[in-house]
């Protein structure tokens, strides 16, 4: 497993160590500390230590997501204290998307049933959500189940549906308490009725939460997302509410399933685990300018060290959006 | 099927050319024991960095990039790759300085004219050339040159070169949406039965959208190569590439050589079985 750069507070663990690490019982954000005066000097010191004058990091300057306007002083201090020193807060991606691939391969490599792989994958997801909240990343989209996954063996699909239901139930109160807005995107009509009901309930209850957004793609297809958006627009055209030449990219984007997030609509960084080099029909429109990061680790092995490495890779990139940076 | 040069290898000007040709053919024959891609797409990134690296003017990088394009096309067509798509100029590139945009437009015109010359690779391989993008955004000389190239090569039966200029994938999808919705209006105007389209699903299908994409007549790419080591698609072929193999060699585009292409094919062959399996599954969902 790759090691993060020297000077970082956290060091990588071998897969064996990750397995021995006790599973977290539930998500928890760090406890709030009494607020203290904002230390602008420490930010400047960190930025100049890294060699960049403050406010000029290219990755931060060109982040697709709009700056959060509702970060509290307490949140900023907490993120700054918790962030590994090898990462710069001002150049972190605001929105990270992850294709959580490799659960079955992980289980097969260890001689375990596929269900064990998915359960290990869930533990990885909990840890990444915890770290994302801790470090001030504002939105996380995860590809949990694609429209093509329905062709997997029925036993595996049934297990996954049960797992999703269990995960939502287990973490329901935590999402509410910690201010996490949960959104489920995908063709929910194909999901079992109890899961549909639970998904709707959790989305309704957390709709006004603002601390962190968790978007879970279940039975999702990027192409279907585009086609459904097109159909909604075609309906408006049919109802004479819109002319074809009035359709713009922003109008179209509002009809996509990711339209609920105004501050962080598109991922800045898209991570895919397990070494596969493709997008697999995930967020096709939305990932037009996302930085892609591919890692050979299977999803259950993707831990803090891998996440730090992915974020460091993002920080090193120069995002140009078709323009020149002299 | 390999698109051998219409002039056989005896036309090579010297013995070294013939030896190099024979070696390439041997190498391509070996590669053809495994699956070969039918369509490769290139994001030709790194021309300017190449100029900086060699302390020369910007034109040097672009000219070297064009040479790299011609040689890569030749190798692809000798190998039997029928479709090659290249990302030449994005709609976002219009945001650059006006002088640079003007210079790039002049360069595009010059290179399109070179492609149509008698001795160019286009004629040697009987290539059909497409230009994908919002051509109305181009300057008039470039637009006319592009249209001329498409007309002159329209009846060619050999491999296909698609050049994306004034292109972004989101614009392409939007264009397909607009065309599909215009069809809806047309159906309503012709009093096509409202009973047939009483739900949104009946208005537009996947096939309708795909038909109106610029790439409607080409299969989906098997490989997308972005040179210079950058790992992003930059709004290129988003709809067409959900199951294609993404590669990002560190070489700058002018440095992309036969060996980079061979390595690209080998990586594709290694991932082929899982790519095919996913593609088959995806077709079942529509």
Q: Quote the pLDDT of residue B12.
A: 52
Q: Mean per-residue pLDDT for A262-288? A: 92
Q: Quote the pLDDT of residue B14.
A: 82
| Strand partners for B260 | none
Tell me if B281 and A151 make a contact (CB, 8 A cut-off): yes
* CA B81 to mean position of chain CA atoms: 12
| Strand partners for B83 | B39, B160
Lowest average pLDDT, out of A188-202, A263-277, B5-19, B77-91, goes to B5-19
What ipTM score was computed for the predicted complex, to two decimals?
A: 0.89
Percentage of chain A with pLDDT > 90?
64
**A192-250: pLDDT as tens digits:** 999 999 999 999 999 999 999 999 999 999 999 999 999 999 999 988 898 888 999 99
Q: What is the mean pLDDT of chain B?
A: 88
Q: Quote the pLDDT of residue A265.
A: 86
Between the CA of residue B23 and those of B9, B20, B64, what are the distances in Å? 12, 5, 24
Read off the tokens for A206: 């957390």
Asked if B273 is an interface residue toward chain A (Cβ–Cβ < 8 A), one would say: no
Read off the tokens for A264: 């962080």
- Whether pLDDT at A25 is above 50: no
Q: Quote the pLDDT of residue A290.
A: 95
Spatial distance between the Cα atoms of A58 and A68, rounded to a whole number of angstroms: 18
Q: Which of B45, B73, B38, B61 is nearest to B231 (CA)?
A: B45
Whether A96 contacts A269, CB under 8 Å: yes
Spatial distance between the Cα atoms of B169 and A153, rounded to a whole number of angstroms: 35
- Whether pLDDT at B124 is above 90: no
User: Which region, left, alpha or beta, applies to residue A11 given φ > 0 means left and ψ of -120 to 50 means alpha?
Assistant: beta
HEC string of B114-128 equals: HHCCCCCHHHHHCCE
Q: Quote the pLDDT of residue A264.
A: 83
- Whether pLDDT at A321 is above 90: no
Asked if B187 is an interface residue toward chain A (Cβ–Cβ < 8 A), one would say: no
Q: How confident is the model at residue A251 (pLDDT cuts 50, 70, 90)?
A: very high
Tell me if B209 and A230 make a contact (CB, 8 A cut-off): yes
DSSP state of B203: T
| HSE value, Cβ hemisphere, 13 Å, CA-based, for A278 | 22
Lowest average pLDDT, out of A77-81, A302-306, B145-149, B267-271, goes to A77-81
**B252-286: pLDDT as tens digits:** 999 999 999 999 999 999 999 988 888 887 777 65
Q: In degrees, to the nearest 5, what angle opens at C-alpha A166 toward C-alphas A161 and A171?
A: 130
Residue ranges of B 101-160 with Cβ closer than 8 A to chain A: none
Read off the tokens for A140: 């996380």
- Whether pLDDT at A20 is above 60: no
Contact list, A232 vs chain B (CB under 8 Å): 200
CB environment B231-266: b (16+ within 10 A), e (fewer): bbbbbbbbbbbbbbbbbbbebbbbbbebebbbebbe
Among B95, B232, B271, the residue with its CB nearest the CB of A289 is B232
Spatial distance between the Cα atoms of B92 and B150, rounded to a whole number of angstroms: 24
Q: Quote the pLDDT of residue B203.
A: 78
**B15-24: pLDDT as tens digits:** 888 899 999 9
Asked if B182 is an interface residue toward chain A (Cβ–Cβ < 8 A), one would say: yes
Contact list, A62 vs chain B (CB under 8 Å): none
Contact list, B188 vs chain A (CB under 8 Å): 238
Spatial distance between the Cα atoms of B51 and B61, rounded to a whole number of angstroms: 5
**B87-96: pLDDT as tens digits:** 999 999 999 8
DSSP string, A146-183: EGGGGGS-HHHHHHHHHHHHHHHHHHHHHHHHTTEEEE
CA torsion through residues A215, A218, A223, A228, sign: negative
Q: What is the pTM of this model?
A: 0.83
Tell me if A322 and B234 make a contact (CB, 8 A cut-off): yes
Helix or strand holding residue A305 (H, E): helix A304-316
Q: Quote the pLDDT of residue B199.
A: 61
Higher pLDDT among residues A253 and A16, named by residue: A253
CA–CA min distance A66, chain B (Å)? 19
Tell me if A280 and B232 make a contact (CB, 8 A cut-off): no
Question: Active-site positions of B?
Answer: 45
**B218-258: pLDDT as tens digits:** 999 999 999 999 999 999 999 999 999 999 999 999 999 99
Q: How confident is the model at residue B188 (pLDDT cuts 50, 70, 90)?
A: confident
Tell me if A249 and B241 make a contact (CB, 8 A cut-off): no
Q: Which of A300, A293, A286 is nearest to A98 (CA)?
A: A293
Q: Quote the pLDDT of residue A221.
A: 94
Q: Quote the pLDDT of residue A121.
A: 96
**R_g of chain A, CA atoms, integer Å:** 20
- Give the residue on A whose Cα is nearest the Cα of B199: A235
| Strand partners for B40 | B84, B223
Catalytic residue among A101, A225, A301, A306: A101
Among B178, B197, B233, the residue with its CB nearest the CB of A245 is B178
CA–CA min distance B1, chain A (Å)? 27
Among B90, B174, B278, the residue with its CB nearest the CB of A148 is B278
């Amino acid at each position: 497993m790759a090691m993060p750069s020297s000077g970082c507070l956290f060091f990588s663990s071998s897969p064996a160590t990750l397995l021995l690490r006790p599973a977290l019982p539930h998500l928890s954000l760090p406890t709030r500390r009494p607020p203290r005066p904002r230390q602008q000097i420490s930010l400047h010191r960190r930025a100049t230590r890294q060699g960049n004058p403050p406010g000029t990091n290219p990755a931060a300057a060109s982040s697709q997501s709009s700056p959060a306007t509702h970060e509290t002083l307490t949140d900023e201090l907490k993120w700054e204290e918790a962030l590994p020193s090898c990462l710069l807060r001002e150049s972190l991606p605001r929105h990270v998307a992850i294709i959580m691939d490799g659960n079955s391969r992980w289980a097969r490599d260890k001689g375990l049933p596929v269900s064990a792989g998915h359960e290990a994958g869930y533990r990885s997801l909990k840890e990444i959500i915890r770290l994302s909240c801790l470090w001030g990343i504002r939105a996380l989209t995860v590809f949990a189940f694609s429209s093509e996954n329905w062709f997997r063996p029925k036993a595996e699909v049934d297990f996954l549906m049960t797992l999703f239901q269990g995960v939502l139930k287990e973490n329901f109160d935590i999402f509410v308490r910690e201010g996490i807005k949960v959104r489920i995107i995908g063709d929910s009509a194909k999901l079992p009725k109890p899961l549909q009901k639970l998904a709707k309930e959790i989305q309704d209850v957390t709709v006004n939460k603002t601390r962190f957004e968790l978007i879970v793609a279940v039975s999702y297809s990027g192409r279907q997302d585009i086609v459904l958006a097109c159909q909604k627009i075609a309906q408006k055209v049919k109802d004479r509410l819109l002319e074809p030449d009035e359709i713009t990219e922003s109008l179209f984007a509002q009809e996509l399933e990711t339209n609920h997030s105004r501050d962080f609509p598109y991922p800045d960084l898209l991570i895919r685990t397990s070494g596969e080099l493709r997008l697999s029909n995930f967020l096709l429109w939305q990932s037009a300018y996302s930085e892609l990061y591919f890692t050979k680790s299977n999803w259950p092995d993707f831990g803090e060290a891998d996440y730090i490495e992915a974020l460091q890779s993002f920080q090193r990139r120069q995002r140009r959006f078709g323009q020149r940076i002299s | 099927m390999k698109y051998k040069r219409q002039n056989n290898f005896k036309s090579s000007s010297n013995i070294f050319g013939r030896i190099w040709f024979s070696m390439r053919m041997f190498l391509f024959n070996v590669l053809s024991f495994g699956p070969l891609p039918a369509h490769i797409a290139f994001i030709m990134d790194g021309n300017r960095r190449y100029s900086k690296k060699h302390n020369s003017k910007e034109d040097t990088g672009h000219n070297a990039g064009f040479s790299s394009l011609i040689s890569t096309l030749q190798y692809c067509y000798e190998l039997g790759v029928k479709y090659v798509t290249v990302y030449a100029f994005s709609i976002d590139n219009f945001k650059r300085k006006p002088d640079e945009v003007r210079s790039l437009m002049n360069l595009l015109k010059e290179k399109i004219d070179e492609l149509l010359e008698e001795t160019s690779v286009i004629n040697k391989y009987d290539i059909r050339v497409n230009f994908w993008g919002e051509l109305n955004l181009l300057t008039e000389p470039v637009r006319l040159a592009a249209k001329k190239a498409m007309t002159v090569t329209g009846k060619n039966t050999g491999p296909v070169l698609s050049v994306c200029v004034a292109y972004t994938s989101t614009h392409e999808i939007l264009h397909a949406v607009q065309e599909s919705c215009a069809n809806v209006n047309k159906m309503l105007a012709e009093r096509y039965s409202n009973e047939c389209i009483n739900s949104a699903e009946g208005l537009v299908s996947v096939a309708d959208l795909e038909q109106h994409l610029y790439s409607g007549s080409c299969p989906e790419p098997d490989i997308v190569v972005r040179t210079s080591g950058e790992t992003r698609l930059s709004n290129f072929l988003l709809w067409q590439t959900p199951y294609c193999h993404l590669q990002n060699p560190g070489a700058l585009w002018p440095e992309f050589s036969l060996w980079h292409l061979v390595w690209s094919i080998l990586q594709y062959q290694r991932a082929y079985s899982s790519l095919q399996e996913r593609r088959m599954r995806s077709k079942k969902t529509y």
